[in-house]
A and B are shown apart, each in its own frame.
Chain A
Amino acid sequence: QLQLQESGPGLVKPSETLSLTCTVSGGSITSSTYYWGWIRQPPGKGLEWIGSVYYSGSTYYNPSLKSRLTISVDTSKNQFSLKLSSVTAADTAVYYCARRHSGGAYQYVDYWGRGTLVTVSS
Chain B
Amino acid sequence: DIQMTQSPSSLSASVGDGVTITCRASQTIGNYLNWYQQKPGKAPKLLIYAASSLQSGVPSRFSGSGSGTDFTLTISSLQPEDFATYYCQQSYSTLSITFGQGTRLEIK
Contacts and interface: CB of A to CB of B under 8 A. Distances in A.
Nearest to A63: B96
B102 A114 contact: no
Given A63-B1, A114-B43, A115-B43, A108 B91 contact: yes
A102 B79 CA distance: 32
Contacts of B95: 60
Given A112-B43, A113-B43, A106 B99 contact: no
Given A112-B43, A115-B43, A107 B1 contact: no
Interface residues of B, number: 26
A16 interface: no
Contacts, number: 58
Given A110-B46, A114-B43, A46 B100 contact: yes
Nearest to B6: A46
Contacts of A107: 32, 91, 94
Interface in B1-50: 1, 32, 34, 36, 38, 42-46, 49-50
Given A47-B102, A62-B96, 6 more contacts: A49-B97, A60-B95, A96-B44, A106-B91, A107-B94, A109-B46
Interface of A: 46-49, 52, 60, 62-63, 96, 98, 102, 105-110, 112-115
